[in-house]
Amino acid sequence: MLEIKNIEVYYGYIRALKGVSLRVEEGKIVSLLGSNGAGKSTTLKTVSGLLKPKHGTIHFQGKDITHMDSSGIVKLGIVQCPEGRQLFPDLSVKENLLTGAITRKNRKKITEDLNWVYELFPILRERKNQLAGTLSGGEQQMLAIGRALMAAPRLLMLDEPSLGLAPKIVEQIFDLLVRLNSERGLTILLVEQNANAALRISSYAYILEVGSIALEGDAQELLKSDVVRQKYLGA
């Protein structure tokens, strides 16, 4: 579904990504792991069109999107749930959700998906008229994911969805991702520092170190790897 080949991305003179290549197969959950500054968020922003690679290509379902603008990429079905949620704090929960559907035209389907998101997150229905900025951290993360789902993604990319959340909420978020994948067949590219939790729900994983892919493989095999356990899982 998504194929990244040898991309290099610069911030000024600093090379943030150094020939990164990865694949995300349709219907799978794939994790992109690594420490702060490894290049995980940069990779997602490049796929989303927010950053442009100096070298390399990005294809989505066979279409070259390397130099496509971000709005066109969203219309193809690539949707990013950003790190830090980036909600509109002075808009209501419902208004935030509807911003996710801004590129869509079918009003009936938008209403159906809004009700579906409320079913996934009943607390959002309860707080639909409440300002997003007044929600708890966990509720804001649910809203950010809900807003991304309102864009009708074919590929959902999540950037650190567990960051700063209580363990119970993290468990709920990861359970939801498994449910979206198994029940809806949603393809997911997950960026996470919580490597243990991410590997447990993924079929395949890549580990970034300082802008390069250091390791990749079947997620369950990586979980069993002594190198991965010692270096990334704190075991």
- Say what the pTM is: 0.92
pLDDT band at 199 (very low <50, low <70, confident <90, very high): very high
The domains found in the chain, sorted by start residue, are 1-77+153-235 (3.40.50.300), 83-152 (no CATH)
Mean pLDDT over all residues of the chain?
91
Q: What is the pLDDT of residues 29-85, one digit of tens each?
A: 999 998 888 899 999 999 999 999 999 999 999 999 999 999 899 999 999 998 777
Q: Does position 235 have pLDDT exceeding 70, yes or no? A: no
Q: Pick 7 or 163 by higher pLDDT.
A: 7
Tell whether the model's pLDDT for residue 212 goes beyond 80.
yes
Give the mean pLDDT of 177-200.
92
226 pLDDT more than 90: no
Question: At 128, is the pLDDT very low, low, confident or very high (cuts 50, 70, 90)?
Answer: very high
Q: What is the pLDDT of residue 55?
A: 95
Confidence of residue 228 (pLDDT cuts 50, 70, 90): confident
Q: Are 1 and 157 in contact (CB under 8 A)?
A: no
Compute the average pLDDT of residues 98-104.
90
**What is the rounded average pLDDT of the residues 122-139?**
92
pLDDT digits (tens, 9 = 90+) for 13-42: 999 999 999 999 999 999 999 888 889 999
pLDDT of 146 > 80? The answer is yes
Q: What is the pLDDT of residue 169?
A: 86
SS (H, E, C) the chain: CEEEEEEEEEECCEEEEEEEEEEECCCCEEEEECCCCCCHHHHHHHHCCCCCCCEEEEEECCEECCCCCHHHHHHHCEEEECCCCCCCCCCEHHHHHHHCCCCCCCHHHHHHHHHHHHHHCHHHHHCCCCEHHHCCHHHHHHHHHHHHHCCCCCEEEEECCCCCCCHHHHHHHHHHHHHHHHHHCCEEEEEECCHHHHHHHCCEEEEEECCEEEEEEEHHHHHHCHHHHHHCCCC
- Mean pLDDT confidence for 225-231: 78
Cβ contact 26:187 at 8 Å: yes
Taking residues 100-127, report their average pLDDT. Answer: 92
